[in-house]
Amino acid sequence: MSKFFSNKKLIILLITIVAMIGFISISISIRDRRETPPVIQQIGNDAAGIASQIVSAPVNSIRTGLTSMVNLVNTYQDNERLKQQLDQLDQVKETNTTLRRENKALKRQLKLSATLTDYKEMNAAVISRSPASWQNQVVINKGQLNGVVKNMPVMSGSGLLGRVVEVNKTNSKVELISTDNKNTNRFAVEVKIGADKYLSGIVSRYNSAQHRLIISQLDTTEGVKAGDMVSTSGLGGLTPRGLFVGKVTSVRKDDYGLTNSVYVKPAANIDDFTVVTLIDRTVAGD
Amino acid sequence: MTIAAKRLRWFIPIIWTVLFLLDGTISLLFQKWLYHDFLNISSQVLLMGVVSTSFHFDTERWLIWPAFVIGIFYDCFYLGIVGYYTFLLPMVVMIVRWIADYLPDSMLFQAVTYILMLIILEFALFILNSFFGDGIGFFTFVSTDLGPTLAANVIVFLLIYYPYKQLMKAISN
């Protein structure tokens, strides 16, 4: 015992702890400041990304096989349900095209090239997930070479899932909307409470016990009721307007009873996803 | 250097690299169950490999260097912040090497060492996170993170202890 904690070892331990804290602080400040990590880190990440895809290939193929088997079982039920929706779909599609054409014409008249609602989509596959439970980060297989930029919003299925926090050459990291990280950027959202009425707020937390996003900092919660649609507001300059977030489930008082928070059931399946969609906002933020 | 020793220097880093990538794959594959309501389980297969290897080859002093390099990769690829595993993994190797002097190489003692290292690692990560303002409360950490992580990883340890031991045996002679 006495030999292990000799003076020399204690000094080494002390230096290691100091170096550790130093490295982490420098690393955090670099990550917050730069659009992409240093080149050496990028090369390491790209190599690890490629190796990860090789290692996970057999596992993924088994997973795909299982999923398709489960899908086969569910197909009949799905088919019944979808048939009912199909009749309405044609009508909705037709209306959509007409409205889009009209919108384009009106924008041209106003000499607007792009507005807050305009965006381009890009699909990516998830290749790995950070094992650290305090991080809620996944790695996707698109990077700088594919046009990914830091802070791009990411969707999964029909709802908002998170945003890009680090971009390498061939892969990038996405932080999920469910993160507890207090230093991360927040999403500006709006709750639709009437035909033309919206309330702006910010997604501030995720309640993992109930699987609910919590919106706070609303001016008022008057008129908000369960079932109201929540989508991004396009304010803040990073996210386009109109990305679907979820539906309101309840309005509750905060711990001190001073303000109200709105609880939202996210539309994206935050617990289970393998494919994501990156959103590229056309109007650049200032 | 004998041929067996040379082979070790090649194989151990490769095995550790595969385990390191498996951690991410496992986390993604079972994300539905690992990151749940009051359960936050982090897969620590790499740590198991590092502990088991340094326990088995406690005279190989160079093991600290592959641990350091893989630690850097771990930090870059999974965490995006360099400094956590870069220093913690070599530290684990050193502590295990010291413990292995006093304990016989058996499943029970390896399991105890592994649990001890897991607690030290998770606790060190918790303290560092609190220090950098990203912390959860101590009791929340123990009940939702440390406890489930220990339980799940001990089961994984029991499952892969024997195959891993055979692998170590195969590459060392």
Alpha carbons A38 and A20: distance in angstroms, whole number: 18
- Give the per-residue pLDDT at A286: 44
The token duo for A257 is 């009873």
Q: Which residues in chain B are contacts of A51 at CB distance < 8 A?
A: 17, 21
- Give the per-residue pLDDT at B129: 84
The DSSP code for B62 is G
- Give the per-residue pLDDT at B134: 66
- Give the per-residue pLDDT at A61: 81
ipTM: 0.84
The C-alpha of B104 sits at a distance from chain A's nearest C-alpha, in angstroms, of: 18
Residue extents of the structural domains in chain A = 1-33
C-beta atoms of B80 and A131 within 8 A:
no
pLDDT (tens digit, 0 to 9) for every residue of chain A, 286 residues total? 555 567 887 888 889 889 988 988 888 888 878 777 888 888 888 888 888 888 888 887 887 788 778 778 778 878 888 887 888 888 888 898 899 888 888 888 877 666 667 778 888 888 888 888 777 889 998 888 888 888 888 988 778 888 898 888 888 999 888 877 766 778 888 888 877 788 888 888 887 777 888 888 777 777 788 888 888 887 877 788 888 888 888 888 777 777 788 888 888 888 778 888 888 877 665 4
Just give the CATH number of B3-172.
1.10.1760
- Give the per-residue pLDDT at B89: 92
SS3 letters for chain A? CCCCCCHHHHHHHHHHHHHHHHHHHHHHHHHHHCCCCCHHHHHHHHHHHHHHHHHHHHHHHHHHHHHHHHHHHHHHHHHHHHHHHHHHHHHHHHHHHHHHHHHHHHHHHCCCCCCCCCEEEEEEEEEEECCCCCCCEEEECCCHHHCCCCCCEEEECCEEEEEEEEECCCCEEEEECCCCCCCCCCCEEEEECCCCCEEEEEEEEEECCCCEEEEECCCCCCCCCCCCEEEEECCCCCCCEEEEEEEEEEEEECCCCCCEEEEEEECCCCCCCCEEEEEEECCCCC
A162 contacts A274 by C-beta, under 8 angstroms: no
Asked if B21 has any chain A CB less than 8 Å from its own CB, the reply is yes
Q: How confident is the model at residue B155 (pLDDT cuts 50, 70, 90)?
A: very high
Per residue in B66-87, pLDDT (tens digit) is: 999 999 999 888 888 888 899 9
Chain B contacts in chain A segment 40-99 (CB below 8 A): 41, 44-45, 48-49, 51-52, 55-56, 59, 63
The DSSP code for B61 is G
Chain A contacts in chain B segment 111-140 (CB below 8 A): 125, 128-129, 131-134, 136
Asked if A124 has any chain B CB less than 8 Å from its own CB, the reply is no
Q: Provide the 3-class DSSP secondary structure of residue B41.
A: coil
Tell me what the mean pLDDT of segment B17-44 comes to. 84
Q: Which residues in chain A are contacts of B69 at CB distance < 8 A?
A: none
